Amino acid sequence: AQSVAQPEDQVNVAEGNPLTVKCTYSVSGNPYLFWYVQYPNRGLQFLLKYITGDNLVKGSYGFEAEFNKSQTSFHLKKPSALVSDSALYFCAVRDVNNAGNMLTFGGGTRLMVKP
Amino acid sequence: DTEVTQTPKHLVMGMTNKKSLKCEQHMGHRAMYWYKQKAKKPPELMFVYSYEKLSINESVPSRFSPECPNSSLLNLHLHALQPEDSALYLCASSPRGRGPSSAGTDTQYFGPGTRLTVL
């Protein structure tokens, strides 16, 4: 079984400050990890993914995420937040043994960036 | 181009109506998905098509009927829906279908969704 948790329903940060959106996962094998962003009344946009290799993954719009196997975490980060980053963020996991190619999503974290 | 298109953007229907949602991608992807998303909740998987064949049905009620006419198109036929079926319906696609474990590395690309309201 695979699962993912986003412990914070909402994260508030001031514009220009660094932001972190937390994600922890549970899989039986090795994980494939994804971050998506969703703006109001829109579909999910892919930000970045971790498959293997370097633990620090760089993605779209200046976002990056760090894979930490010992802590089973994949936190999303950005050095300097923009008001336009305000949106709903979803972490997702797929177990390498999951031939069904099914993603399991976390509950989502709403990021609010204030001017 | 990583675009998945969905029509219509909005749909309002009565409980006795029959309607269809359409999804299209021209990226040559061989896996396509339907998700249902309630407000402020994560997407819930409904169906997966792999190489134009239904490979996963997540115990979805029969009032939802998927169809994959070809590798670029995915439809969701709706009949006798209930008000609780009101939601954002998302289509997604990924390059490879179900099978080799390496397909698990594939990214799913989502369309903008259809906002469905059932009266």
pLDDT, one tens digit per residue, over A50-64 is 998 899 999 999 999
pLDDT, position A28: 86
Cβ neighbours of A32 in B, within 8 Å:
104-105
Contact B56 A100 (CB under 8 A): yes
Three-state secondary structure call for residue B102: helix
Positions in chain A short of pLDDT 70: 98-101
pLDDT, one tens digit per residue, over B37-85 is 999 899 999 999 989 999 888 889 999 999 999 999 999 999 999 999 9
pLDDT, one tens digit per residue, over B16-27 is 899 999 999 999
Interface of A with B (CB under 8 A): 32, 34, 36, 41-46, 49, 51, 88, 90, 94-103, 105-108, 110
Q: Which of B40, B56, B112 sits opposite A108 (nearest CB)?
A: B40
Q: Which of B43, B48, B107 sits opposite A49 (nearest CB)?
A: B107
pLDDT, position A32: 92
Task: Give the pairing type, strands B4-7 and B109-110.
Answer: unpaired
